[in-house]
Amino acid sequence: MTSLNQQLYESSQKYIPGGVNSPVRAFKSVGGTPIFFKRGQGAYFWDVDGKSYIDYVGSWGPLILGHAHPKVVKAVQEAAQNGLSFGAPTEAELEIAELLCKLLPSIEQVRLVSSCTEAGMSAVRLARGYTGRSRIIKFEGCYHGHDDALLVKAGSGALTFGHPSSAGVPSETAAHTMVLNYNEIAGLEKIFSEFGKEIAAVIVEPVAGNMNLVKAEPDFLATLRSLCTQYGSVLIFDEVMTGFRVGLECAQGLYQIKPDLTILGKVIGGGMPMAAFGGRREIMQCLAPLGAVYQAGTLSGNPVAVAAGLATLEEVQAPEFYETLAAKTQQLTQGLASVAQKYNVDFCAQSVGGMFGLYFCKELPKSFADVMMCDKEAFNRFFHAMLGEGVYFAPSAFEAGFVSTAHTDEDIDKTLLAAERVFTSWV
Ligand code: HOZ
């Protein structure tokens, strides 16, 4: 008998391209049928056929407290009762803006938007408006949403499905985007010496999470900072994934580098559609209605999304929150690495705060090229075998994974036992 999941997938393909509303959900690179979920609680979620999974995707990052955290759900319910949207300012927007500015010293002003793509696109437009320049620099394998200018040699689903530079982007638009190698200082210095005065912005994930997980070398980010300062270019940190995920001060706190603009999303919306971009007042004040850079959104600062974000941000400020999360995530990555070692599988893993990378190769990758050398087929086998064991990792070798505070020691142990069963039969 066909499962309900299979029936839903077949029907969805009739009405939704590929049966999914975002390509990374499609299981195209790992093969098989995407799973339709109906309920989540804590570290677990359940598919439509009733099978449960330990979730290491967490909606691709937002669910740092796990599924349906009672305080977040309560905040959402209370906000919804008072109206779903006003299209006008609210006190809660001020509260979250003040909080973001307080937690991130690089942010003097912030604007809320509804998606991470919107945040990235708006930050780039703002940087161009502020500098009066057109060129931007991004790094191969980094993904900053699906804005035309940024969808060049991108990571995440674009990389997973073999279209890192999307069709439909006019070459004139992409011509202003220069793509360099992540963690390569020589390339950076060369491009700045040639085009420095034409570069509006450099956008970078300070810990890349869209080509699996690759940590920036401290020198690389420090060089970026000093070149941007020297040439008057805007340094944009894309902290959509790392923001309030790797620590309360985000990646910029870990690396002790102050970007000019920061993009945030995922955790700050607590699972609701909310993102933000913010930074130096002088730059932010170029935005309409004060300045000539236009940016707008009917649902920006939506009261229900802001309520979820505020409730989540309150929880992450608890003492020891990030220490506990980081320790739990390491327990997972170190545990997996030692199980793999026991069975002579070429595998390694690492984490930063509550995000992690798993690699089927001998050494931790430091660049896009290193990631490409990992064994993707081995990842796909591992993914499916773990799925069979009730453990859900991202359905792509090019995505970071996430642990939440809802994951218990027992959940991690169960995961490691499952990995042990998988690697025992590894040939
Ligand atoms: N940005 C998320 C992680 N790469 C994926 C979300 C999506 O594209 O659906």
For 367, the domain range is 4-68+319-426
Residue nearest to atom 5 of ligand 1 (CA): 60
Whole-prediction pTM: 0.97
Average pLDDT of the residues in 198-212: 98
From 9, 44, 56, 143, the catalytic residue:
143
For the chain, what percent of residues have pLDDT higher than 90?
92
Ligand 1 pocket, residue 115 CB under 6 Å: no
**How many whole angstroms from 292 Cα to the centroid of ligand 1?**
31
Residue nearest to atom 3 of ligand 1 (CA): 60
For the segment 328-350, the average pLDDT, to the nearest whole number, is: 97
pLDDT at 157: 77
pLDDT of the residue at 95:
98
Same domain assignment for residues 209 and 277: yes
The pLDDT of 64-70, averaged and rounded, is 98
Q: Are residues 15 and 54 in the same domain?
A: yes
Q: Are strands 261-264 and 275-279 parallel, antiparallel or unpaired?
A: antiparallel
User: Residue 24 has what DSSP assignment?
Assistant: G
Q: Mark whether 238 is an active-site residue.
A: yes
The predicted pLDDT at position 297 comes to 97
> 3-state DSSP call for residue 273?
coil
Judge if 249 and 120 occupy the same domain: yes
| Ligand 1 contact via 179 beta carbon (within 6 Å) | no
When pLDDT is averaged across residues 203-213 and rounded to a whole number, the result is 98
Average pLDDT rounded to a whole number, residues 177-194: 96
| 270-280 per-position pLDDT tens digit | 999 999 999 99
Q: Which of 316, 345, 376 is the last residue of a domain?
A: 316
Q: In angstroms, what is the span from residue 156 Cα to ligand 1's centroid?
A: 6
> Does residue 222 sit in the same domain as residue 294?
yes
Compute the distance from residue 353 Cα to the ligand 1 centre, in Å.
Answer: 19
- CATH code where residue 35 lies: 3.90.1150.10
What CATH number did the domain enclosing 203 receive?
3.40.640.10
The per-residue pLDDT for 158 is 74
Q: How confident is the model at residue 247 (pLDDT cuts 50, 70, 90)?
A: very high
- Claim to verify: residue 281 and residue 295 sit in the same structural domain: yes
**Residue of 266, 328, 370, 392 marked active site:** 266
Is the pLDDT at 162 greater than 70, yes or no?
no
Final residue before a domain boundary, out of 316, 339, 360: 316
Predicted confidence band of residue 172 (pLDDT cuts 50, 70, 90)? confident
CA 114, 120, 125, 129 dihedral sign is positive
CA distances from 226 to 221, 257, 281 (A): 9, 10, 20
Pocket test for ligand 1, best of 20, 29, 60, 115 (most atoms within 8 A of CB): 60
Residues 171, 49 share a domain: no
Same domain, 250 and 195: yes
Both 94 and 140 in one domain: the answer is yes
pLDDT at site 152: 84
Domain count, the chain: 2
24 lines ligand 1 (CB under 6 A): yes
What's the pLDDT band for 1 if we cut at 50, 70, 90?
A: confident
Are residues 134 and 277 both part of a single domain? Answer: yes
Statement: residue 161 has pLDDT above 70: no
131 pLDDT tier (thresholds 50, 70, 90): very high
Segment 343-368 shows an average pLDDT of 97
Q: Under 8 Å CB-to-CB from 17, ≥6 apart: which residues?
A: none
**Spatial distance between the Cα atoms of 356 and 64, rounded to a whole number of angstroms:** 13
pLDDT, residue 170, reads: 87
Q: Find out whether 53 and 38 touch, Cβ atoms under 8 Å.
A: no
CA–CA gap between residue 56 and residue 51 (Å, rounded): 16
pLDDT score at 159: 73
C-alpha dist (Å) from residue 343 to 49, 196, 340, 391, 422: 33, 50, 5, 20, 10
**Ligand 1 pocket check for 399: Cβ under 6 Å:** yes
Read off the pLDDT band of 174 (50, 70, 90): confident
- At 163 the pLDDT is 72
Closest-CA residue, ligand 1 atom 6, reads 60
- Taking the centre of ligand 1 as the mean of its atom positions, its distance from the CA of residue 159, in whole angstroms, is 11
Among 290, 316, 342, the domain-final residue is 316
Ligand 1 pocket, residue 60 CB under 6 Å: yes
| Distance in Å, CA 324 to ligand 1 centroid | 26
Atom of ligand 1 at shortest distance to CA of 156?
Answer: 4
Same domain, 121 and 237: yes
Q: Residues 360-377: pLDDT tens digits?
A: 999 999 999 999 999 999
Instruction: With CA atoms as reference, report the closest residue to 371 among 356, 361, 379, 380.
Output: 361
Nearest CA owner, ligand 1 atom 4: 156
Q: What is the pLDDT of residue 171?
A: 85
Which residues have CB under 8 Å from 305's CB, separation 6+? 114, 269, 272, 273, 274, 299
Pocket mutation for ligand 1, best pick of 28, 156, 207, 398 (most atoms within 8 Å of C-beta): 156
Q: Does residue 82 share a domain with residue 58?
A: no
Are residues 303 and 328 part of one domain?
no
